[in-house]
Amino acid sequence: MKLKIINTSKNPMPAYATTLSAGLDLRANLEEPITLKSLERTLIPTGLRIELPEGYEAQLRPRSGLALKQGITLLNSPGTIDADYRGEIGVIVVNLSNETVTIEHGERICQMVIAKHEQVTIEEVDELSDTERGAGGFGHTGKK
């Protein structure tokens, strides 16, 4: 599928892949670096707006390197970009480390995966079919 992008950021398009099979790394678009204290969260602008075809969503996911090395992850992971959203993509990051972390302009802060989803019609009913599991959940089978 074709993904239309408006890039109003200071990160030129060559900084972005033109085709993607999985995640596209999104870069912070900042006037100045942002510092995040331990457990602090913020919305990072990307300067990107996209037009997804109906039936698709974009998911924002953490980058494993940032998570492992700096404790930076996405608070609402995966962030959902709706097909009808035309605003700027923002990235909600949180610092789960014990130290202050600095995010610079142009840093790759998350990855965006485009996914197809079912078009679902909701039917309200009085009963659901029986299964062996029934209402058992939340670890009811134990640990081992």
Using Cβ positions, the residue closest to ligand DUT within the complex turns out to be 79
Nearer to ligand DUT, 20 or 92 (CB): 92
Among the listed residues 20, 67, 92, 113, the single contact to ligand DUT using CB under 6 A = 92
Cβ atoms < 10 Å from Cβ of 125: 5
Angle at 107 between CA 101 and CA 110, to 5 degrees: 90
Three-class secondary structure of residue 75 per DSSP: coil
Rounded to whole angstroms, the Cα distance separating 27 from 135 reads: 43
| 85 scored as a contact of ligand DUT (CB under 6 A) | yes
| 75 scored as a contact of ligand DUT (CB under 6 A) | no
Rounded to whole angstroms, the Cα distance separating 136 from 116 reads: 30
Is 130 part of any known ligand binding site?
no
| 9 half-sphere exposure, CB direction, 13 A CA radius | 26
Is 97 part of any known ligand binding site?
no
Among the listed residues 51, 82, 99, 104, the single contact to ligand DUT using CB under 6 A = 82
Q: Which of 81, 98, 114 is nearest to 36 (CA)?
A: 98
| 67 scored as a contact of ligand DUT (CB under 6 A) | no
| 103 scored as a contact of ligand DUT (CB under 6 A) | no
Q: How many residues bind ligand DUT (CB under 6 A)?
A: 10
User: Which residues contact ligand DUT (rule: CB under 6 A)?
Assistant: 60, 76, 79-82, 85, 89-90, 92
Can you say which residues are annotated as belonging to the binding site for substrate? 63-65, 76, 80-82
